Amino acid sequence: MIGLRPLIEWPLVAALVGLFGTAAFVLLASEEGSFNLQQSVSPLLPWWRIAALVILVTASCMMLDVTASMAGVDWKGALPLFTEVLTETHAGHVWQWYLSAMIALVIFTFLPTRQSVRVPAILGLSALVIFLQAELSHATDKGSLAVVVYFLHAAAAGLWFGALLAFWIVQRRGAPPSEWVARAALKVSKSAGWTVAILILTGIYTAYHGLGFDLYHLLYSAYGRTLLAKVAVFSLVLPIGAYNRYRLIPEINGASAQKSLVRNVGIESLILAVGVLGLAAVLANTPPAHGHVMPPGMQMHM
Ligand code: HEM
């Protein structure tokens, strides 16, 4: 039921890159004395727990769905075949790591422990799962450099989306001092600059693998059109980011600039979470137009 897969992959990818990026933001923005790690984590922790459970459920559904399509059966018929796929296929070998990492993610989001232990654990484990996700993607057909670039693309997406989302949640739920908000806003703005640059460069490289330098493929293939839609929605966010950076950040010590920034960051996060990541999930489940043989994860690599 490949048709369902983008609907499973979207919450998986949004939860995964969101968890990675918000954990990175907390380490970047928390400051001893004014707004420490404990204070910046507490408004995010309930979201992290939900995200970890969403990853556990949706990734398990993805594994079952891929097993079902490999064997040409439905989910019920796929259950008894799961162990064989786990031990006999490339996807299965990757899933063995994936399963352990995502269970550890759930444990570290629920475990009563110090934030100085929890946050780096969440950051490291979610980075590992993003890498394993890249190993299961179309990039796996194009070699290890393509897999690393795919990982960097998804990680940069997480750092940008996560910084915006964490800033919005902490500001709305954590009552941080306005001096902290001003400093955090500068950090978000600075990191947005280079994460967006990495996103575009790695996105173009990955798109080349999916389309080649072929305008016909870009304009008329399902993969090309989905990519164009994704870039179009992405370009809706850029002017909002530019307005924040060049109009609001220079005035960020003022209450009204802070209020407008939080509103705009909320809008950016929503467009990225629904529009861009939704289309990224569709793209990841659309056969590339260029030089592609078998759907990802369906090869029997002995
Ligand atoms: C110029 C802009 C961009 C280009 C050209 C681009 C291109 C791509 C391509 C070709 C893929 C691989 C799909 C596949 O075959 O599996 C991809 C995946 C992805 N992109 Fe982008 N992208 C861009 C911007 C973004 C932005 C702004 C975000 C989010 C903030 C984003 C998030 C992702 C994610 C998370 C994936 C992995 C999806 C998955 O594993 O399910 N991309 N992108």
CA-288 nearest atom, ligand 1 = 15
User: What pLDDT was estimated at residue 300?
Assistant: 42
The domain total for the chain is 1
User: What pLDDT was estimated at residue 10?
Assistant: 98
User: What pLDDT was estimated at residue 301?
Assistant: 43
Q: What is the pLDDT of residues 262-297, one digit of tens each?
A: 999 999 999 999 999 999 999 999 999 865 444 444
Q: What is the CATH number of the domain that holds 156?
A: 1.20.1630
Query: Does the Cβ of 210 fall within 6 Å of ligand 1?
Result: yes
Query: Does the Cβ of 137 fall within 6 Å of ligand 1?
Result: yes
Query: What is the number of other CB atoms lying within 10 angstroms of the CB of residue 114?
Result: 9
Q: What range does the domain containing 190 cover?
A: 5-292
The tokens describing 241, both together, are 């980011």
Alpha helix stretches (DSSP H) within 144-213:
144-173, 178-211
Residue 61 located in a structural domain = yes
Residue 299 located in a structural domain = no
Query: Does the Cβ of 13 fall within 6 Å of ligand 1?
Result: yes
Instruction: Render 195-229 in DSSP notation, one character per residue.
Output: HHHHHHHHHHHHHHHHH-S-HHHHHHSHHHHHHHH
Of all protein residues, the one whose alpha carbon is nearest to atom 3 of ligand 1 is 203
Residue 301 located in a structural domain = no
pTM: 0.94
Return averaged pLDDT per consecutive 10 residues of the chain, 302 residues in all: 84 98 93 83 97 98 94 94 93 96 98 95 98 96 96 98 97 92 93 96 95 92 97 97 96 94 97 97 92 47 41
Residue 46 located in a structural domain = yes
Residue 297 located in a structural domain = no
User: What pLDDT was estimated at residue 299?
Assistant: 45
Query: Does the Cβ of 276 fall within 6 Å of ligand 1?
Result: yes
Q: How far apart are CA 186 and CA 173, in angstroms?
A: 20
User: What pLDDT was estimated at residue 76?
Assistant: 94
Residue 298 located in a structural domain = no
